[in-house]
Amino acid sequence: MPSRVSLIVVAAGRGARLGAATPKQYLACAGKPLICHALEALAAARSYCAATVVIHPDDRALYQSALAFLSPAATATFGPPAIGGDSRQQSVRAGLEAQSDAAPDVVLIHDAARIFPSLALVERAVAAAERYGAAAPGAPLSDTVKQIDAEGRVVATPDRSLLRAAQTPQAFRFPLILDAHRRAAAAGVDGLTDDAAVAAWAGHETYVFDGDPANVKVTTMDDLSAAEARLFDAAADIRIGQGFDVHAFAAGDHVWLGGLRIPHERSLAGYSDADVCLHALADALYGALGDGDIGAHFPPSDPRWRGAASSIFLSHAAGRVRTRGGVVAHLDATLICEAPKIGPHREAMRARIAEIAGIALDRVAVKATTSEGLGFAGRREGIACLAVATIRLPAR
Ligand code: MG
């Protein structure tokens, strides 16, 4: 009969090494809290007879909001969280106690900060627990390891081929590890940093099975950025949207273009400030999202948008990308007019557009052309703008 396998995800740490106010497992990574990536991957790997996330008592609200980012399948996998203690050992024990009624054969214990547990790794973990009773995934070390004393003097250079960096999920026969944790707690032993060490302390032979070098732990901000890049690369949901807008000239003494007020012998007519450039850019973003257009989000029938600064539209569209967990990779606008001259204002427009969209200057392009006297732009009846936006959305 196949083993009844349960899962404990330890997420009660304070993440002090990242130096952020929010514990690292709840920091945003590719559009959702870090912990969600681990939970999704584990839920997708197999089914469990019980699955418990152990959280810190201060994090109830953070965990509740993180759940909103989970797929229905992952949401259904995890039951109510267990509340952890002051140490990792206490937290794992809280998770084990919460599952004692479910009486699993095998339990996998995983750190929430490892967000890339693969299906193959999870299956190796289950097999290792069935075979050995207590086992941890281990990755070979690429660096030579030095053992030092308090002054930094090297006292030993262990044989690297016999060393492994322990990862999670660690895997155990459930009664073995529950008993080991209970005994360690009763003996006042509380500083062990992984469950293989708890099993070993309790006198069990513990084994290392093949880990996965890609199963890294997010510990620093650099790790977080690297994890995010990997998630985006894996997803590669890159989208391009286009926008187009025209406004006619009317009486006036300035135009709004690219978020700048530019003195001119005429103004552009429109319900808002008629910034044809920001309108085209906003529509390009809505287009990339498949999310309507300016008119749908800001109906001209609504008096709130009379004379509105068009920066509102562009920042709203960029915000819609971020709400979806995405990033604006690039904005490119081409203005078509005989006058005013765009060249002298180009760099200021780029800077203003970058500011409104919340992206770096080098991700914004503004170009201009005349239409050689042809058509409405050539007859100086109005200004047209073409725009393209590239966005990247995270994996679903
Ligand atoms: Mg318009």
> SS3 letters for 190-202?
CCCCCHHHHHHHC
User: How is residue 384 written in tokens?
Assistant: 């047209």
Q: Do 308 and 298 meet the contact criterion of CB atoms below 8 Å apart? A: yes
The predicted structure's pLDDT at residue 240: 97
Question: Could you tell me if 199 and 101 lie in one domain?
Answer: yes
Q: Which residues contact 280 (CB under 8 A, 6 or more apart)?
A: 243, 244, 245, 333, 385, 386, 387
- Asked if 48 and 5 touch (Cβ cutoff 8 Å), the reply is yes
- Would you state the pLDDT for residue 345? 98
Q: Are residues 185 and 321 in the same domain?
A: no
Q: Give yes or no: residues 22 and 164 share one domain.
A: yes
Are 114 and 10 a contacting pair, CB within 8 Å?
A: no
Domain span including residue 169: 5-233
Same domain? For 26 and 168 the reply is yes
Tokens matching residue 181: 């944790």
Q: 371-380: b or e for each residue (b if 16 or more CB lie within 10 Å)?
A: eeeeeebeee
CA of 274 to the centre of ligand 1 (A): 6
CA of 108 to the centre of ligand 1 (A): 57
Distance in Å, CA 173 to ligand 1 centroid: 65
Q: Rounded CA gap, 319 and 363, in Å?
A: 16
Query: Residues 201, 56, 185, CA angle at the centre, nearest 5°?
Result: 25
Of 214, 7, 210, which is closest to residue 115 (Cα–Cα)? 214
Give the domain CATH number at 313: 3.30.1330.50
The pLDDT value given to residue 236? 67
Q: Retrieve residue 342's tokens.
A: 């765009």
Measured at the alpha carbon of residue 181, what is the angle toward residues 97 and 174, in degrees to the nearest 5?
60
Ligand 1 centroid vs 268 CA: distance in angstroms? Answer: 10
CB neighbourhood size of 301 (10 A): 8
Indicate if 271 and 362 belong to the same structural domain.
Answer: yes
Domain boundary among 185, 217, 233: 233
125 with 259, same domain: the answer is: no
pLDDT at 18: 62
Q: State which of 202, 233, 264 marks the end of a domain.
A: 233
179 plus 311 within the same structural domain: no
Task: Find the 314 Cα to ligand 1 centroid distance in Å.
Answer: 12
Buried b (16+ CB within 10 A) or exposed e, 184-214: bbeeeeeebebbbbbbbbbebebbbbebbee
Orientation of helix 34-45 relative to helix 60-67, angle to 10°:
60
Residue 62 CA to residue 25 CA, distance in Å, equals: 10
297 C-alpha to ligand 1 centroid (Å): 13
394 CA distance to ligand 1 centroid (A)? 30
CA of 261 to the centre of ligand 1 (A): 16
Ligand 1 centroid – CA 362 distance (Å): 25
Instruction: With beta carbons less than 8 A apart as the criterion, state whether 392 and 326 touch.
Output: yes
The CA-based diameter of the chain, rounded to the nearest angstrom, is: 89
Distance 302 CA to ligand 1 centre (A): 15
Residue 11 CA, ligand 1 centroid: distance in Å:
48
Last residue of a domain, one of 233, 261, 283: 233
Instruction: Give me ligand 1 centre to Cα 247, in Å.
Output: 6
CA 276–ligand 1 middle distance (angstroms): 5
Q: Rounded to the nearest whole angstrom, what is the distance from the C-alpha of residue 352 to the centroid of ligand 1?
A: 18
For each successive 10 residues of the chain (396 residues), what is the average pLDDT?
A: 93 74 89 94 95 96 94 92 94 97 97 95 97 97 93 95 96 98 97 96 97 91 90 80 98 97 96 96 98 94 89 97 90 97 97 96 97 96 98 77
- For residues 100 and 212, state if they share a domain: yes
Asked whether residue 219 falls in the same domain as residue 266, the answer is no
**Do residues 106 and 190 share a domain?**
yes
Instruction: List residues bridging with 383 in a β-sheet.
Output: 247
Residues 35 and 146 in one domain: yes
**pTM of the entire predicted model:** 0.66
| Strand, helix or coil for residue 227 | helix
pLDDT of residue 186: 97
Q: Looking at residue 364, what DSSP letter applies?
A: E
Q: How far is the CA of 270 from the centre of ligand 1 (A)?
A: 7
- Total count of domains within the chain: 2
Q: What is the CATH number of the domain that holds 165?
A: 3.90.550.10
117 within 8 A of 38, measured Cβ to Cβ: yes
Distance 348 CA to ligand 1 centre (A): 21
Are the C-beta atoms of 99 and 52 separated by less than 8 Å?
yes
Same-domain pairing of 260 and 181: no
